[in-house]
């Protein structure tokens, strides 16, 4: 298993989840060599410790969600990744380009920094249907 998309768990058919073992503990198995994971943001907040136990994980795609429920017991260890993709709307990307520090995506990225080691990122990207922008992980400024 190299790629796993577990978005929309709250709307997914529960029988399908049981049949295919789609649950957080599946990810913590030692024989999983997962490289790419696609999740809703709430999964990161709720199961951060499980994601820390997947050293092979290189790319994480997170779907923007609101409101953000941040776990008050944030771990001091952060997830190390090569690439972080944040799925959002075209309007949110346009807002980020024009008013970065006051945009809702900027606040979202700052909350992700509580869980993800941004210094290890080689690429931080906002992705929408018709556009994407690369962001400097250190300054959160738009690069392209």
The C-alpha angle with vertex 20 and arms to 3 and 29, in degrees rounded to 5, equals: 60
User: Which pair of tokens denotes residue 53?
Assistant: 């136990």
pTM of the model: 0.79
Q: Is residue 65 part of a domain?
A: yes
Q: Is residue 52 part of a domain?
A: yes
pLDDT category at 132 given cuts 50, 70, 90 is very high
Q: Is residue 140 part of a domain?
A: no
Q: Is residue 141 part of a domain?
A: no
pLDDT category at 138 given cuts 50, 70, 90 is very high
100 or 86, higher pLDDT: 86
Q: Is residue 9 part of a domain?
A: yes
pLDDT digit string (tens) for 100-109? 778 889 989 9
Q: Is residue 41 part of a domain?
A: yes
Range(s) of the domain holding residue 108: 3-135
Query: What burial letters (b/e) apply to 51-85, b meaning 16+ CB within 10 Å?
Result: bbebeebbbbbbbbbeeeeeeeeeeeebbebeebb
Q: Is residue 45 part of a domain?
A: yes
Q: Is residue 144 part of a domain?
A: no
**In total, how many domains does the chain have?**
1
Residue 15, exposed/middle/buried by CB under 10 A (0-12, 13-18, 19+)? exposed
């Amino acid at each position: 298993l190299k790629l796993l998309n577990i978005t929309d768990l709250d709307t997914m058919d529960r029988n399908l989840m049981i049949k295919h073992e789609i649950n957080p503990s599946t990810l913590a198995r030692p024989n999983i060599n997962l490289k790419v994971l696609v999740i809703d943001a709430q999964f990161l907040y709720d199961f951060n410790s499980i994601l820390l136990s997947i050293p092979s994980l290189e790319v994480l795609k997170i779907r923007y969600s609101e409101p953000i429920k941040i776990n008050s017991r944030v771990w001091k260890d952060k997830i190390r990744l090569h690439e972080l993709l944040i799925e959002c709307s075209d309007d949110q990307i346009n807002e980020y380009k024009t008013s970065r520090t006051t945009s809702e995506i900027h606040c979202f990225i700052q909350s992700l920094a509580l869980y993800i080691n941004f210094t290890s990122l080689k690429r931080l990207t906002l992705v929408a249907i018709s556009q994407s922008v690369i962001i400097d992980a250190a300054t959160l400024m738009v690069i392209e």
